[in-house]
Structure 1
C-alpha cells in the first residue's frame, strides 16, 4: 500500500512541475527568414520558486515530417512571473543540422530554408539531478524567399510581334537558399471583364508546364499559334524540391496582327527643335514627329507648317 501511495505522489509532483511553466509563442505571422526570429517566446513561471531551464527546438518539414535541424539554448533562470525571452538571454544557441539537402545556413543568425515547417519547442528543467520536460508547444510557419521569381519577357502589357514567345524570368532570391529549384508556368486567356489574377486562378490553361529546370521556356511549336485578337496572362511558380515556395506577379501580353506595324519610336535626341522666326529651321521627318521648344521669351503662339514631300 505504501508503494502505491509513493507512486501516486510522484506522479502528482511531476504533473505540478509540468504545469508550472506556460510557454507562449509569439512568432510573426509573416516575414520569418532568419533563425533569430524563431526565438520570440514568453515564459510564465506560475510556481513559487525559480527554475533553471533550457529551450530545445525541432524544425521539421511539414510536407514529409523530416527533421531539418534542432537547437538547444543556453541555460536561463525563470523567476516567478512572466519572462520575455531575448536573444541575449539564450546565447549561445547550439544548432545541429540534420538534413543537409535543405541547404541550412549553419550560422546562428543565418537564413532559414524556404517552405512550410513545423517548429516545436520544449522547456527542460535543469535544476535537479535529472532533466525534466516542463512545457512544450508547436507552431506551423511558412518561410518565404526574400524575392519571388521576377518575370522578364514578355513584359507586362507588351504587344508582341511573335506568336510563339520565349518566356523568360529570374529566379527567387537569395538563390543559395534552395537545393533544387524548378518552376511551373501557367498561360491563360484573359476574358472580358476579368482581372489577370482571376484569369490565372479560374481559367483552364492554354499552356501549362509543371516541371521547368531553367529560367526560360519556348512556347511549343506543336501548339496552335497565339491569337492576335486575345489578351493572355502568365505566371511563374517557383518550387524547391518540388514544394511550392513563391509565385511571381501575373503579367499580360497580346500578339500583334502581322499586318499591323508598330509606330516608329523616336528617342529624345530625335525631337525637332523649332527656332525663333529669325532663325527658322526645317526638318525632314518620317513617322511620328515630336517637338521640343524652349520658350525663353514667353511666346504665346508657335506656328508649324507640315508639308508632304512623298509625291
Structure 2
C-alpha cells in the first residue's frame, strides 16, 4: 500500500513539473508572411507559461544556395498567451544578408524571389543568443511571386454611360486561402492625376471583404455623375497584410454618344455591311452583331487603305455581350483617321468567323 502511494505521489509530482515548464510555438504563414523582409517578423508566438524576457533569431535559407538572410530581434517581453513580436523590438532588429545572388535581390528590393525556402525561428531566453534556447521551429515553402493583378473593366481612360458600373479585375495568382479584395473609387478633380486623387480625395466607394474579383456598384453609394472623371484601384489582402495592388485606372462618365440614344435603324448588320462596296463612317462606326458565346471583348483591327504605311493606333476597347449587340466604335478623337481616307476593319467573332468592313471616314458634323 505504501509503495502504491509513493508511486502515485511520484507520478503527480512529475506531471506538475511538466506542466510547470512553459511551451512555445510559432504561428507563421510562409505563403503570406514569407514574401518580404518586413512581413517575416509578424510571426506570432504562443507562450503557455509565465512572462519571460526573450530574443528571437530568424534564419531564412534557400535550398540551392543556403542561408540568404538572418534577422536578430533584440530582447522583448513575451507575455502568456499568443502575441506578436513588439514593433519596437522589430524596429531595432539587425538584418544580415548572405553572400548569394538571392540575398542581393532581397537586399535591394525587400522581397524574396521565387525559390524553395526554409524559415527557422529560434527563441532564446534573456538578452543573448548564447543563452538557453527555449524553442525552435522551421517552416518550408516553395515560393512563387504574385503575378501582376490587372484591372479589366471599366477600361482605362474609357468613356461609359453606366452610373453604377460593375468592376472586374484579374484574381490574385497564385491564390491564397482567405485572401480578400478592397476596391477604392474616387473622383478625379481638375488638374489632378489619378494617383493623387486616390491618396487625397474622399472615397466614393471603399469596399472591403470582397471575396471574388468582381464588385457590383454598392447600392448605398451615390451614383456617378455624368461628365466627371473617376479613378479606381484594387488591393488584395489577408487579415491586415497587403498581398498585392493593381495599377490605377481612370474612366469618365459620358452618355452623349450612348448607343441607346441612336435609332435602331442606324445599326445595320455587319453581314449586310460586309457585302457592300463601302460604308460612310461619320465620326463613328455603327453596326449590329450577334454573339452566341459569353461576354467578351470585340476582337478587331483597322488598317488605312489610302496610306497603307499609316498605322492605326489607340482603338477603343469594345465589349460585346451574349446575344445581339449594337456596337458603337467612336473614332472622333483618334488622330489616325483623316477625312476622306479609306479604311478596312477586320473583325474576328467569337464563333471563329471573320468579317471585313471597308469604309470611308468623314469628319463628324
TM-score range, shorter chain: 0.3 to 0.5
Larger RCO: 1 or 2 (CA < 8 Å, sep 6+) = 1
The structure that has the greater radius of gyration is 1
